[in-house]
Amino acid sequence: MCELDSSCTNSSSSITRSYPLRAPIPVGKRANKLYRDRTANFYSPGQWEKVNLLSMMHLAVYSQPPDLKLSVWSSPGLSRPAFSEATIEANGYRPAQIGGSFGPSWSTHWFKVQINISEKMRQMENLELHWDCSNEATVWNAQGEPLQGLTGRGERTEWIIPASLKDGVEHTIYIEMACNGMFGNAAGDPIFKDNANGDAIQPPDPDKYFALTKAEIVAVDLQARMLHSDIQIIHQAAQGFPEDSWEQHEALNIANRIINTFRVGDRELIVRSRKIAEEYLGPDVNSENVFHVNSEKNASVFAIGHCHIDTCWLWPWKETKRKVARSWSNQCDLMDRYSELTFACSQAQQFKWLKEGYPYAWERVKAKVKAGQFHPIGGCWIEHDTNMPSGESLIRQFLFGQRFFESNFGRRSTTCWLPDTFGQSSQIPQLCRQAGMNRFLTQKICFNNMNEFPHTKFNWVALDGSQVICHMPPAKTCCADATFGDVKRNRSIKITHLFSFSVKETAAVDLPGSRSKDCADSEASLTPQGCFLVFIWVTPPMISSTSLKRRPIPFPLGTASFTSSSIVEFTPLKLRLSSTIGKQRSSFRDLELLALIASVEDESFKYPKKEFDEM
CA 461, chain centre distance (Å): 31
Task: Tell me the residue type at 187.
Answer: A
As a whole number of angstroms, the distance between CA 302 and CA 531 comes to 5
Burial of 59 (0-12, 13-18, 19+ CB in 10 A): middle
**DSSP of 158-211, one letter per residue?**
EEEPPGGG-SSS-EEEEEEEESSBTTBS--SS-SSS--TT---SSPPPTT--EE
List the catalytic residue out of 189, 205, 420, 481: 420
As a whole number of angstroms, the distance between CA 589 and CA 551 comes to 30
- Torsion, CA 423, CA 424, CA 426, CA 430, rounded to 10: 180
Own/partner pairs for 541-547, CB < 8 Å, 24+ apart?
543/457, 543/459, 543/469, 544/459, 546/455, 546/457, 546/458, 546/459, 546/469, 547/454, 547/455, 547/458, 547/459
The answer to whether residue 230 is catalytic is no
CB-CB contact of 216 with 62 (8 Å): yes
Beta strands in 202-345 (DSSP E): 210-211, 214-220, 301-306, 343-345
Alpha-carbon radius of gyration of the chain? 28
Burial of 531 (0-12, 13-18, 19+ CB in 10 A): buried
Please choose, from the candidates 430, 450, 369, the residue with its C-alpha nearest in 3D space to the C-alpha of residue 404. Answer: 369
CB-CB contact of 220 with 237 (8 Å): no
CB-CB contact of 532 with 334 (8 Å): no
Q: Quickly count: other Cβ atoms within 10 Å of residue 378's Cβ.
A: 27
Task: Tally DSSP H helices, then E strands, for the chain.
Answer: 16, 23
Beta strands in 337-444 (DSSP E): 343-345, 374-376, 415-417, 439-441
Task: Tell me the residue type at 607.
Answer: Y
Task: Tell me the residue type at 162.
Answer: P
Cite the DSSP H helix spans in 44-163: 83-86, 119-122
Beta strands 171-178 and 567-570, pairing class: unpaired
CB-CB contact of 185 with 134 (8 Å): no
As a whole number of angstroms, the distance between CA 373 and CA 307 comes to 14
**Cβ neighbours of residue 301 closer than 8 Å, sequence gap 6 or more:** 487, 490, 491, 496, 497, 498, 499, 526, 527, 530, 531
Residues annotated as part of the active site: 420
